[in-house]
Amino acid sequence: MSQIALTCGFILILAGLYGALTNRDILRMIVAFTVANTGVNIVLVAVGYLPGRTAPILDSAVPVAEAAQRIIDPVPQALVLTAIVIGLGITALMLAYAYRLFRLRHSLDISNFTELKW
Amino acid sequence: MTFEWIQVPYALATLFIILNYGLLMTAVVRKLAARVGGRPGIPVWQNYIDLVKNFALRSKINHGVMYYLGPVFRLSGGIGLILFVPTIYGSSWAQNFSFAGDLVLALYFIFFGTLGMALGAGESGHPHSAIGVSRGLAQVTTAELPMALAVYSLAIQYQTLSITEIVAAQQGGLFNWTLFTNPLAVVAAMFAFVGTMMRSPFDVVLAPQEIPIGPPTEYHSAYLALMQTNRAIFPIAKTIIYMNLFFGGAANWAEFAIKVFLLYMIPAVIGVVHPRFRVEQSIRFFLKWGLPVGILAILTV
Amino acid sequence: MIPKVLISVLLLLLGYAFWTLSVGYAPDTELNRTAAYYAANAESEVGAPNIVTGIIVTWRGLDTLGEVTVLFLTSAIIALVLSQSGGPSGVSGADFLPSGELLTTGARMLVPLIVLFGAYVIMNGHLTPGGGFQGGAILASGVLMALLAEPTRRFGHTAILRIESLSGSFYVLIGLAGMAIAGGFLDNGILPLGQFGTMLSAGAIPLISVLIGLKVGAEFSSILQSLHETEDA
Amino acid sequence: MVSPVLIIAIGLGTAFALGLLGSSRKTLQFGATLTALAAMSAISVIWLVALVTGAAQTAEIHTAGAVPPFAINLRVGIAEAALLATVTLTGLFAALSLRAQLLKLGRGGMAVLLVLIMAISGLVMTRDLFNVFVFIELIAIATAGLVLLSEDPRAVCAGFKFLVVGQIIAILLLVGIIFTYHANGSLNIDDIAATPVGVQGAALAMFLLLIALVIELKTFPANGWALDIYTSAHPGFSAVFSAATGSAALFIVDKVVAPAGAEWLPLLTGIGVLSFVASNVVALRQDNDRRLLGYSSVGQLGLVLAVIGQRDVLGEAYLYVAGGLILSHAVAKAGLFWMSAMVRGRNLDDWAAIRARAPMVLAFATFIAMLVGLPPFPGFYAKWDLAQALVAAGRLPVLALILLGVLIEAAYLFRWFGFAIKREAPEKGLSANMVDCGITFAAVIAGWALGWIWGAIPGQHNVLATLPMLAVLAFFALEPLPAKIKNVAAIGALLGWFTLVFGDYDPMRLIFAVVMIPGGAVILLASFTETGRRIGFYPSAMAMYAGLALLLEATTFFEFFAAWEIMTIGSYFLILRGKMSEPHALSYMLFSLGGAFALLAGFALASGGIQPFALNQLGTVGAELAPWVFVLLSIGFMTKTAAMGLHIWLPGAHAEAETDVSPMVSGILLKAGLFGLFLMLMELGRQSLWGVDLTVVLAWIGAISAFLGAVLSIFQEDAKRLLAYSSISQMGYALFGIALMNHLGWLLAMMFVINHYVYKSMLFLAVGGVYKRTHTKLMYQMGGLITLMPFTFVSVLVGIIAMSGVPPLSGFGGRWIFYNAIMDAGLRLPLILIFMAGPVGFLYLFRLIHTIFLGQLKDPHRQLKEAPVWLLVPQMIFVAFLIGFAVLPGMALQKVDGYIGSIFGDQPLVWSGRAIASEFGYWNPVAIMVVIAVIFVSVFLILIAKNHDAQKVKQFNIVFSAERPYRPETTHFAWNFFAPYRKALGFLEAPVVTSFWGGVTDGLNGTAEFTRRFYNGNGQSYAAHVLLFVVAVYLIAMGGVA
Amino acid sequence: MKDVDDKFLKNLDRTVPLREELRPRKVTTPDGQEIEIEPLKDYFCEAAPKVHAKSYFPIVEDFYNWARANSLWILGFGTGCGAIEMRPLMTPRFDAYRYGIQWRPTPRQSNLLMISGYLSVKTLKRAIRAYEQMQGPKYVVGLGSCTINGGMYWDSYNTIKRLDQYLPVDLYIAGCMPRPEALLAGFMELKKLIKAGKCEGANKYAENFATYKANQKSVIKDWDMPDYNW
């Protein structure tokens, strides 16, 4: 189960990276990075998964005393939340940049923005 | 050895002998050369007359301080060289002022006159003088090289730099001469000897047909007379050094006269039968022939 | 195309690294020591049944503060980016197409519900899945809906700004308060832990959740609004 | 003590609260921002001081009331506090630097800046891996925001590229973190480090984590994005980006290395060194100032990364070394970026705008010296310790590469400095204002303060706290005074120092001391000719003299090396003052640094890491190391004496320097190399390597230098170049003498030390005086000056007689000792060259005096005056000395002779009265002088008797084949004076060495040009570079580690 | 009597402008000042030749004259065809060296100026310069009829006819050309004259400097040199 999720996440990462590196359109790049981010998030969650356990919420189903045996690892869950938010922030920022770049040159082709080099 | 006042008259006497010997000998050599060519040649006392004539000139000009001092340097160099080198081995009075320094002093003092002359010639403002100096200096760098090596070889051989001791080591028979004990050094030194005697094929410095007549172009009257005097004694002084170093020195004035004359004849004879080298040719000549001999000399000691 | 081939090769090699990771991966059979600690002490230390929220708000509170800051930064920067971009500024509402009766009406109906739901998710963050972020996002989706429905409408920038600033500042203050009166920066123990599993429990977690929710909502709204304002007719 | 967490809280709180102040009250907001930053700085500085003084212990801050590893915790130790102080202060100054932009943009910009500083601080303090990620992302986002503050529209592109790469880093980092967590069950760095790992894949996870952090350092080649940011961002921000972000990122790598384990260190070293060298190479071809600074930043970070890679061998010194490098980098880079904000043009030579402002030049010089790691800045101490540690651990290749990198860095930095000092200043090229200047100078002060602190750390010799260096600092303060007053002070300082120290020196040191200190004072007399304030001269000159003074004082390797470097710096600035000296000063600096690095390596090799290592322990070096130490040290010293092959800097540097500088750098400075050689040979003695006696090699080098230097000299048309080449030749003689390794050889070298100082200083002053009047150094353009400048002529005359070794002046003594010395030396072949060098030397000397003073006077020079009197005074002193020394060589040499005798245990010279005798010959200087004088005067009197009435004629009254000369220019035989010599031996003039070094630099430049094409400006390519880097390192590392 | 053809003189009545390199000019010094240069004044010594007294003691003077007579140094200046007759004097057949006669390449060291044949106006100028640059006592010998009366060039438009109008000639050797034997005879005559103290040409030249100069300048129109060439 974890392996599948992991592999899935990694494939998403690679696919995202491939998209980001081969598409010259900035918007597509951003989308590709979102895909890759999703892949990362899947990997994060997958790592925290313990087979046959439940969500880390202590309620009547999972009493405190049994928690350690019943719940999956809560830490990746917490981390993934942060990761998601950060990914979202960056995506938003990239979009804003894309907009700004478009206004600058009326183009969204990344190969048009190479005056800074060497 | 230390200084005593009696050495002053002794030295002056030596100087006097050498001066006269030089004046006469150079004339004789010229006469010999003339005779070889079938001419009667100059009278043997011609040098004296020329000297007097030049001292007797009435009008003179002066190009400046260094021009004025140039001949003084020149002659001081010649006289000094005589006086720093012991002339007659074993003679108590012909040792001159050789207590002041050894072979090194003699070797370096040769440049004293050269330098002064070059400066004087330079100040005359004549381009030919400067060209002559340029040629002379350029040539002497390689011409002196075999000599330096020979001297070094010799010094190692005898383990001394004192001329007197070198001569002393050569006493006691012909085969004690450096000529036989260290022939390579002698050959090397003779390259330098021929190269620095201002004779063909190494006389491009003066080159009368080309840059009349090199450094002394502007010199005349007493200036020239001083230089003529030097011309008489300087080659002798130099020959004395060679004689002392390589040919057993001289134990008396007769031996001195013969050896100096014979030695002096070497460049003269070579000069008569050879055309002139250009400077770069003579430089190459010394590097190609003189230097290897010199190297062998220092390596085989 | 060579670059594509090159990149494929690169990614394959990277994929090989990942593959090694995933092949070598063996899921834990029991909680590791950190997770075990959390599971064991969720009740006693933070008092939050939702351990994840407990971790987020308290144990890893600094991350969360950073997370909030990320959003804050993003919104501030987007505002900067867009304000400088030389695009059309101000409202040119006349040029927008009307959004249609259905959407307008639906939005009017749904927005309050969404906001209410958001508030619920925020308030119950420590008890059930949810929390400040999730709730804040829901709140912002309400704003998004309103924006979509009425493109010419402008929210008060100032109001959002105030909410943003106040909630953020309070969050920091609470953190500092934790240092002053409890165990350290961002300790939720400044308030009594209360009855485990009830609404007003888990110390300052609900309060922080609220602040996070407000903050996140405000940031998202602000971002959305900034993006919205760039829209060309 | 306030909790350091307040730094985060204040930053964040203020950022959040800014919104409450309303968007229109921007000044108020800015005030709040500044206050917050100031408060953050204050907290960090307080902590730093408390920790350093021991008033506080390392602080562990737990958040959330839980202990680590369960809650995030922060730590503030000395390193953290220092970094925090750097970061927050940089932030504070950045706010000031960016004030115009911030005020324009209002709340958003300020908040972003605050958050950035807060995040960097957090990054420094945090001990939690995931927290690291959060802060890194915060920094990334804030960076993307602040990049936009630039007025340069290209900054947007740069920002986007940065974000793209940031995404990749984030992906790698997250994957790495989560798998590390999985493997270790903890996110706490200390906890991970403390718990052994048993899970498969942990190494790979750690690799991903590390590589992501390393890429954060913008390592070569995965750094195109960062360079674009440096190029286009506002310099106020670039300062933060380089100084604060970079340092923090390094610190994170350092933190993570602890849990990762020592097996990763070689990898980091490799990456760091590659990055350092490659970035510096690429920077060689850069002409945009900010991009250049970017490359330099990348390089510096690489260097520190390499140092992190050495933490296993650095031990306790690790913090000292890495800290010194980081802080130097941070302060200098920030300062340079702030300066760049004031310079309008973006080309390197636009920096000439700062030329007119002495404080700016000082600032620039300070920063560059800090970056290159020159004393008295921390980088210098760090470099020293690093070298010691590396050598002790046998990591010589690393040291070699690092030194190579530093050398290349010095190349472009000092080239740049040369541009700034020498190029034409653009109109209105500077937009200086109080605030920008203020923060720049804050950096300058910080730099010097750090220098002091690093020096004051126990166990080190504090370079700044020595009396000579304090004097140098005092001369900075004296700068506003007129030059003449400063000159008096300088002479006084030199003489004062000499009276203080001379009593303690052995005779050999004393000779060097006399030449260097009072000798320097004599040359300084010539400086009285200068009017005005002569800004920059005295601090540089005094730095050089301070270096020399300390060199003589030095007892340990470190002191020696520090003095050596100080001397180099001072002389570099002195040389750079010359009109056309820009390229020559640069090559001087590079060769000197190269030589210094050879010394550094040699010392390190000798001491094997033991510090302090006394100079006189050099002899205790093990037998297998000693030859290598010998080789390295000789290369170092021979660079200074400009031995053939390492000489190409000298002619230009000495020839283009100012009139009174040439004698200093030639007459005095060259002796430092000889001093070093003396010390080395005294301790090491003969060494052989692969069966070759190294002293024989030295002798050969000396002979070749003596010969070729002289040959090259005769072909020069420029009088000062002629003298400069002659110095090479003279130093060759001295080197030869030292390498003979016998008593007389050393005495010969000592004789050269004295003589060369006197006559070369004299000749340089004379030629300088001529240059002052004729405004040319080309000899063929002069001529006939003897009547106009008689005193100068006399000094040149005496100088050349002395130098050519013609009796009776003192040069002859040298030759005499030389002949005696070679008598018992086994060396014969090199003598051929030496023998030939003598007459060749005569050639150039004659040329010097002839073409300048004799021959035809030129029209424009007809009314020239004698050289300024203050130039003549020292010359006349030298003339008097030369004559005195010729008569009484014993006054200086007898003691030295005795001293050298005590070293070799023999006494070949017998000093009886005024005469000197050796085993082979004898020499009576007084007699020689008297005989020659009497003869000369007698002959002179004869001539006067006959020719006293000679008609004084003028220059064209020469026989000219019955014609009259055309013009003086066509009559003066001067140009290509030794044409026949050139025909015969001109092939010796072939610039083989120059071509070699030219090839080296061309090769480097070509590599740079080729390599920088790599940065094609495309964001996707940059992303691909990052991936390529990751994969490449993965392939390498997995081969080595896992 | 005019030495030079009237028509030639007429053509030369116009004044010849000074050569460019001898004209006064302004020069900028390295310091940027403008200074005046007057080459003729600045480059050349303007002093007039002096009459040099004989030695105070006649016997000394006689000794000197004997030395002078036996050390005749000739300036090798071949002006006309007579130069070809000088060469045999160096050969074994005639060998003048045995009489103390030598050839020197520079006027400074010579005391005997041989005007070996006709002198064109152009060559005269050089001959005068060479003569003046010799140091006294100095002697002039005119060789062949050309120097005496113009010889076969008597009606040439630009050769001078009588050398002693321009330079103080001590001795003429007649002939066209005189053979080497005649030259040797002439030298012997000159020696006698010198020994007798009768060769005071240098003093004569100095005493009558103005006359000589006027004569010289009357034929040499482009006199672009100082009056006396030291």
C-alpha to C-alpha distances, D332 to B293, C38, D319, nearest whole angstrom: 63, 46, 19
Of A26, A29, A47, the CB nearest to D182: A47
pLDDT above 60: residue E207: yes
CB within 8 Å: D928 and B123: no
Nearest chain D residue to A37, by CA: D171
- Please tell me which residue of chain D has the smallest CA distance to C57: D64
Give the number of A-D residue pairs with CB atoms closer than 8 Å. Answer: 123
Protein fold of E67-219:
Rossmann fold (3.40.50)
**Which of D866, D949, D964, D970 best tests the E interface by mutation, with the highest count of E CBs <10 A?**
D964
Confidence class for position B254, pLDDT limits 50, 70, 90: very high
Mark yes or no for CB contact D20/C67 under 8 Å.
no
Are B246 and B178 a contacting pair, CB within 8 Å? yes
Contact criterion met (CB < 8 Å) for D17 and C28: no
Tell me what pLDDT residue B227 has.
93
Q: Is D3 on the interface with C (CB under 8 A)?
A: yes
In chain D, residues 1003-1022 whose CB comes closer than 8 Å to chain C: none
Average pLDDT, chain C: 79
Q: Which of residues 91-110 of E touch B (CB under 8 A)?
A: 91-92, 95, 97-98, 100, 104-106, 108-109
Asked if C39 and A56 come within 8 Å (Cβ–Cβ), the reply is yes
Tens of pLDDT along chain A (118 residues)?
A: 778 888 888 999 999 999 888 888 889 999 999 999 999 999 888 888 887 787 787 777 777 777 777 788 888 888 888 888 888 888 888 888 888 888 888 888 888 888 877 7
CB contact burial D486-515 (16+ within 10 A = b; e otherwise): bbebbbebbeebbeebeeebebbbbbbbbb
* Complex-level ipTM: 0.86
Distance from CA of C229 to the nearest CA of A (A): 12
**Which residues is D950 bridged to in the sheet?**
none
User: Chain C contact for D960, CB < 8 A?
Assistant: no
Look at residue E171 and tell me whether its pLDDT is greater than 90.
yes
Locate the domains of chain D by residue range.
Answer: 181-195+217-238+250-462+999-1042, 466-936
- CA of C55 vs chain A CAs: smallest distance (Å): 7
User: What's the token pair of residue D912?
Assistant: 């009886």
Give, rounded to a whole angstrom, the gap between the first and last alpha carbons of chain B. Answer: 29
Q: How far is E161 from chain D (nearest CA, A)?
A: 21
Q: How confident is the model at residue D1042 (pLDDT cuts 50, 70, 90)?
A: very low
Q: Do A110 and D1018 touch (CB under 8 A)?
A: yes
Q: Which of C11, C19, C86 sits opposite A17 (nearest CB)?
A: C11
Calculate how close chain A gets to C78, using CA atoms only, in Å.
6
Distance between CA atoms of residues C228 and C217, nearest Å:
16
* pLDDT at position D157: 86
Distance, CA of D314 to CA of D879 (rounded, Å): 55
> Domain limits of chain C?
2-229
CA D363 from centre of chain: 16
| pLDDT recorded at residue C155 | 65
Interface C-D, measured as beta-carbon pairs within 8 A, has a size of: 208
- The CA distance from A102 to B240, in Å, is 98
Q: Do A22 and C60 touch (CB under 8 A)?
A: no
Does residue B186 have a pLDDT over 60?
yes
- Confirm if D163 and A90 have CB atoms less than 8 A apart: yes
Among D19, A46, B77, smallest CA distance to C166 is for: D19
Judged by CB atoms closer than 8 Å, whether chains meet at D859 and E37 is answered as: yes
Give the amino acid at E158: N
Q: What is the pLDDT of residue D216?
A: 86
D692 forms beta bridges with D689
CB atoms within 10 A of CB D884: 13
> What residues of E are in contact with residue B212 (Cβ under 8 Å)?
105-106
Residue C87: pLDDT above 60? Answer: no
Ordered DSSP codes for C46-94: I--SBHHHHIIIIITHHHHHHHHHHHHHHHHHHHHHHHHS----S--GG
Averaged over D31-38, what is the pLDDT? 91
Q: Give the span between the Cα atoms of B62 and A4, in whole angstroms.
A: 111
Per DSSP, the three-state class of D961 is coil
The nearest alpha carbon in chain C to A21 belongs to C7
Residue C233: band (very low, low, confident or very high) from pLDDT cuts 50, 70, 90? very low
As given in the structure block, the two tokens for residue D1023 are 């992303």
Residue of D137, D201, D1030 lying closest to C70 (CB–CB): D137
SS (H, E, C) D329-343: HHHHHHHHHHHHHHE
C7 touches chain D (CB under 8 A): yes
Give the DSSP letter string of chain E.
Answer: --SS-HHHHHHT-SPPPPPGGGS-EEEE-TTS-EEEE-HHHHHS--PPP-PPPPPSSHHHHHHHHHHHHT-EEEE----STTHHHHGGGGSTTT-GGGGTEEEESSGGG--EEEE-S--BHHHHHHHHHHHHHSPSS-EEEEESHHHHH-GGGTT-SSB-S-GGGTS--SEEE-SSSPPHHHHHHHHHHHHHHHHTT---HHHHHHHTHHHHHHHHHHH-S---S-SS--
Q: Which whole-number Å values give the CA distances from D687 to D557, D615, D618, D677, in the listed order?
A: 20, 17, 13, 13
Residue C152 token pair:
């010419």
CB contact under 8 A, A97 and D156: yes
β-partners of residue D778 are D718
| pLDDT value of residue E166 | 92
- Set of chain B residues whose Cβ sits within 8 Å of the Cβ of D854: 66, 119, 122-123, 125, 130
User: Span B33-58, mean pLDDT?
Assistant: 92
pLDDT in tens, B117-141: 889 999 998 988 888 888 888 888 8
SS3 call for D718: strand
Mutant choice from D770, D781, D956 vs E, greatest count of E C-beta within 10 A: D956
| pLDDT band at residue E12 under the 50/70/90 scheme | low
Q: Among E21, E45, E224, whose Cβ lies nearest the Cβ of D957?
A: E45
Q: Do D920 and B124 touch (CB under 8 A)?
A: no
E133/D954 Cβ within 8 A: no
Q: Which pLDDT band, with edges at 50, 70 and 90, does B239 fall under?
A: very high
- Give mean pLDDT, residues C127-155: 79
B42–E106 C-beta distance less than 8 A: no
pLDDT at E9: 57
Nearest chain A Cα to C56, which residue?
Answer: A78
Q: Residue A118 corresponds to which amino acid? A: W
E51-68 pLDDT, tens per residue? 998 888 999 999 999 999
CB C228 within 8 A of CB C222: no
Distance CA D572, CA D553 (A): 22
Mean pLDDT on C130-158: 79
Report the alpha-carbon distance of residue D60 to residue D77 in Å, rounded: 9
* Lowest mean pLDDT across D311-320, D545-554, E188-197: D311-320
Please name the residue that has the structure tokens 């384990």.
D261
The CA-based angle E89-E90-E94, given to 5 degrees, is 50
Contacts of C3 in chain A (CB under 8 A): 22
pLDDT over threshold 90, residue E192? yes
Question: ∠D492-D495-D498 over CA atoms, to 5°?
Answer: 145
For residue A79, give how far its alpha carbon lies from the nearest alpha carbon of chain D (Å). Answer: 8
User: Among A20, A104, A116, whose Cβ lies nearest the Cβ of D228?
Assistant: A116
Question: Is A2-51+68-112 in CATH node 1.10.287.3510?
Answer: yes
